[in-house]
Amino acid sequence: MEITPLHDGWTLRAAGGEVPDDVAHAKVPATVPGSVHTDLLAASLIPDPYLGENETALAWMHRADWRYETTFPARPAADGEHVELAFDGLDTVATVTLNGTEVGRTENMHRAFRFDVTGLIQEHNSLTVHFRSALARAGEIERQVGTRPHSYPHPFNAIRKMACSFGWDWGPDLQTAGIWKPVRLERWHTARLDRVRPLVTVGPDGTGRVEVVADVAADTGGQVSVRATLSAPDGTTVAGETSGVDGASAVVRLEVADPELWWPHGYGDQPRYRLGVALTDGAATLDRWERRIGFRDVVVRTEADDVGTSFVVEVNGTPVLVKGANWIPDDHLLTRVTPERLARRLDQAVGANLNLLRVWGGGIYETDDFYDACDERGVLVWQDFLLACAAYAEDEPLAAELEAEARENVVRLMSHPSLVIWNGGNENLWGYMEWGWQEQLDGATWGWRYYSEVFPRAVRELDPTRAYVQGSPTSPGFAPWELAPNHPDHGLVHEWRVWNQIDYRHYRDAAPRFVAEFGFQGPATWATLTRALDAADLHKESPAFLLHQKAPGGNGKLDRGMAPHLPTPADFADWHWATQLNQAHAVRYALDHYRAHWPHTAGAIVWQLNDCWPVTSWAAVDGDERPKPLWYAMRAAFAPRVLTVHERDGGTVLAVGNDTDEPWAGTVSLSRQGFDGTVLATAEQPVEVGARSVGLVEVPAALAEAADTSREVLVATLDDVRVVHPFAENKDLALDPASVTATATAAPGGYEVTVTATSLALDVTVLADRLAPDAVADRALDTLLAGESLTVHVTTAAELDPLALTVSPVLRTSNGLHAVVRV
């Protein structure tokens, strides 16, 4: 196999639509892989769509057509040689022309395409890729197959393009186009590897097995063979076998006695083996394929019990408390997401104690860099098939594209040990039953065949080592008309009444079996916000600010969601802090509840980890990669060991959560004390909680009931873990607004900020990015009792005024939102 990348010498120009004159008459250098937006940005022909109101100013691009062109030298095909033009990804409606001859058309961003150009290749070659407006083509398909319900204005469900490219309630409406993945010329003779499927299992006897199924494209019935070799994590070769090609495929089986097992983060290590596959013709090697694999056994248990239907992920026989977050594309302009950026994001996921990311169905099948990063860190991947919040026609041209896309990506991703679940789609079963779709559909197809037949068949036939679930939310084992898809006692639940309709205290109304999606909004960090908006737009009613708040009625929901819990903010700076704080409080409140019900509630996946641009959203990490207060709240809630306070059966209990492999035994110290540190009542309780389990400790009435709910807290401590539980909402507490003093000094890599409390101080946080864009604090949302101190380490390359780190609006507490000291 001879491979020649074709990434050089490309140009871009407009080819149709109502395009501004300066763009219409320009031919600019094009970066491949890349997109029209990134190329026009590089040529200074469009403004940054992430800033101000520029997104709206670029709406003309939705209906524009584009032409990419390049030339390249090559040699004509030799006798018996095959020459193919391979595109790993085209976004989206493309016509490919080589030397004046059309070689193919594509309408699916999520597939790779290969065109035989053996008879066309010559010494000097001209290659053109013409992109039509995806919106225009989606409209044509919608008229052809009939309108289907969808959640946003554009018919994103009529074309196989990243759904959120058309806008979402956290993302911009940019509708990208371009050659978004690598393109190359491939030459081969005799045979090449068409696809390789490594089926990795661990048997009941502990033996690791790899069944390599290699499909071969060949031009003769020659005696080609496939050899597979396996190397251990230390590089030692531990297995190797060869098999002849029978027809168009070969099967090679390898075994490893007692392999090193791959585990999720927090449950063990992540050793990976190197699997190499070679296609040979005698002594000649025709083609090669290589991946890193991991030995682990994964089962998703959906079993009926006396409550309903469980949903438990087991890895290597161990039930895993899923601590998850949903994942969206990390930049709307996808080709700007580098392996280094993905590594930073996965480090933030692990830093927040996450062990699972759900790749959401309105985005993309991520690049292998993403799954490699998850493999390396032990972050489990739940992968949606890419259907979201819409009904999907089961007619052509969509049906064949969806099946081909599903089968291709199941094979592409199956080498990754992190991938554990395939999910039919996001909220489509729920939408069909409860969003009024049936009346609109009037009997038309809506996607059920994909979820019940096409996708499970693809997983079963191609990669039966993975679990498949028909959708999220869903009641496993039931069609949506047989049992409500979002039933809290059965399988997967999405909780969106909170945020949209009711207060976050209602998270504790139910104990679902598994929460696959829930969340609460908050604005981006200050540095991100002020990069995206001018100073005049820093108020919540400015058109630019509202353009970066995509949720319908989002600001009103932020205010209504905050009102029962926090004092009314005095100005925009306070509002920014308070809404970020309320986001963190809401999600922490839910996570504490869900975790306390383990193993009945077997996991929680927060919406969402990341953002794709600067926006007010549900993310824990904003579009400029900065952690919001929510990230610190998730880190605390998902810590290996936690203490949380709950009302159960008319009493107060302390939940002792132990997500480690060792029992947690000791004596819990309990006290009820005033904000000034006065101890009003104490108790001690012995406790022993087994590995990977939760224990409940009853709190004596003398500590569980306050004499003055506005001035007292319950404090519980076990070893170095503590919880401080107020008896009333923050807004009703008699908190001293000036409850802390602080000093700051320069330290290696940045600064140290030492904070001391003169009385109870809640949510102690240093918003260091307000002083320097690169500044980040190592901790946030801390509680200090009267007389206690802590040190916050701020990392930055900037020279800061130490005094600025010790006062508002950089040093913050929720106390500071109280305008006066209550007496």
CB atoms within 10 A of CB 205: 7
pLDDT of residue 222: 67
The per-residue pLDDT for range 660-683, each reduced to its tens digit, is 999 999 999 999 999 999 999 999
**Distances from the Cα of 506 to the Cαs of 516, 581, 670, in angstroms?**
17, 18, 27
530 and 608 belong to one structural domain: yes
Question: The domain spanning residue 73 has which CATH number?
Answer: 2.60.120.260
Site of tokens 């994001």: 345
Which phi and psi (to 5°) does residue 544 adopt?
Answer: -70, -40
3-state helix, strand, coil in the chain (%, to 5): 25, 35, 40
For 268, the domain range is: 190-293
Let me know if residue 144 belongs to a domain.
Answer: yes
DSSP state of 564: T
Q: Enumerate residues 6+ apart whose C-beta is below 8 A from 433.
A: 480, 481, 484, 485
Let me know if residue 753 belongs to a domain.
Answer: yes
**Distances from the Cα of 31 to the Cαs of 41, 111, 115, 724, in angstroms?**
11, 20, 22, 54
The type of residue at 809 is P
Among 637, 672, 691, the domain boundary falls at 637
Among 681, 702, 728, the domain boundary falls at 728
Helices (H), 180-283: none
**Distances from the Cα of 441 to the Cαs of 92, 362, 497, 513, in angstroms?**
27, 21, 25, 31
The per-residue pLDDT for range 217-254, each reduced to its tens digit, is 998 756 899 999 999 999 999 999 999 998 899 999 99
User: H or E segment at 577?
Assistant: helix 572-596
Distance in angstroms (rounded) separating the CA atoms of residues 78 and 121:
11
Let me know if residue 683 belongs to a domain.
Answer: yes
Strand-pairing partners, residue 249, are: 215, 246
Question: The domain spanning residue 674 has which CATH number?
Answer: 2.60.40.10
155 and 205 belong to one structural domain: no
Let me know if residue 733 belongs to a domain.
Answer: no
The per-residue pLDDT of the chain, averaged, comes to 97
Known active-site residue 439: no
Which phi and psi (to 5°) does residue 812 adopt?
Answer: -125, 150
pLDDT of residue 584: 98
pLDDT of residue 823: 33
- pLDDT band at residue 821 under the 50/70/90 scheme: very low
467 and 554 belong to one structural domain: yes
Q: Which of 492, 470, 448, 515 is nearest to 308 (CA)?
A: 492
Judged against a pLDDT cut of 80, whether residue 115 lies above it is answered with: yes
Omega before residue 809 within 30° of 0, cis: yes
| Mean pLDDT, residues 163-172 taken together | 98
The per-residue pLDDT for range 498-549, each reduced to its tens digit, is 999 999 999 999 999 999 999 999 999 999 999 999 999 999 999 999 999 9
Under a CB-based contact definition with an 8 Å cutoff, are residues 817 and 566 in contact?
yes
pTM of the predicted protein model: 0.97
Among 637, 655, 671, the domain boundary falls at 637
Q: What percent of the chain has pLDDT over 90?
A: 98
Which phi and psi (to 5°) does residue 178 adopt?
Answer: 150, 175
Let me know if residue 51 belongs to a domain.
Answer: yes
Site of tokens 């186009």: 177
Q: Enumerate residues 6+ apart whose C-beta is below 8 A from 454.
A: 399, 402, 403, 406
Domain count, the chain: 5
Distance in angstroms (rounded) separating the CA atoms of residues 638 and 587:
11
Judged against a pLDDT cut of 70, whether residue 212 lies above it is answered with: yes
Which residue is catalytic, options 366, 427, 517, 712? 427
341 and 477 belong to one structural domain: yes
Task: Please state at what angle helix 398-413 crosses helix 455-462, rounded to 10 degrees.
Answer: 30
Distance in angstroms (rounded) separating the CA atoms of residues 27 and 23:
8
361 and 421 belong to one structural domain: yes
Let me know if residue 591 belongs to a domain.
Answer: yes
Q: Half-sphere exposure (CA, 13 Å, Cβ side) for 253?
A: 3
Maximum Cα interatomic distance, the chain, rounded to a whole number of Å: 94
pLDDT of residue 221: 58
Under a CB-based contact definition with an 8 Å cutoff, are residues 583 and 300 in contact?
no
Under a CB-based contact definition with an 8 Å cutoff, are residues 570 and 586 in contact?
no
203 and 342 belong to one structural domain: no
Helices (H), 501-562: 526-532, 543-547, 554-562
- Three-state DSSP class for 784? strand
pLDDT of residue 542: 96
483 and 575 belong to one structural domain: yes
Judged against a pLDDT cut of 60, whether residue 187 lies above it is answered with: yes
Q: What percent of the chain has pLDDT over 70?
A: 99
619 and 685 belong to one structural domain: no
The per-residue pLDDT for range 639-663, each reduced to its tens digit, is 999 999 999 988 999 999 999 999 9
pLDDT of residue 822: 37
Judged against a pLDDT cut of 80, whether residue 803 lies above it is answered with: yes
Let me know if residue 299 belongs to a domain.
Answer: no
630 and 653 belong to one structural domain: no
Judged against a pLDDT cut of 50, whether residue 421 lies above it is answered with: yes
Terminal CA-to-CA distance of the chain, rounded, Å?
81
625 and 647 belong to one structural domain: no
Distance in angstroms (rounded) separating the CA atoms of residues 723 and 710:
18
pLDDT of residue 128: 98
313 and 218 belong to one structural domain: no
Question: The domain spanning residue 459 has which CATH number?
Answer: 3.20.20.80
559 and 688 belong to one structural domain: no
Distance in angstroms (rounded) separating the CA atoms of residues 42 and 61:
16
Question: The domain spanning residue 786 has which CATH number?
Answer: 2.60.40
| Mean pLDDT, residues 802-813 taken together | 98
Distance in angstroms (rounded) separating the CA atoms of residues 182 and 33:
6
**Distances from the Cα of 150 to the Cαs of 147, 434, 484, 562, 735, in angstroms?**
9, 13, 20, 30, 47
Let me know if residue 237 belongs to a domain.
Answer: yes
Under a CB-based contact definition with an 8 Å cutoff, are residues 273 and 233 in contact?
yes
Q: Half-sphere exposure (CA, 13 Å, Cβ side) for 52?
A: 9
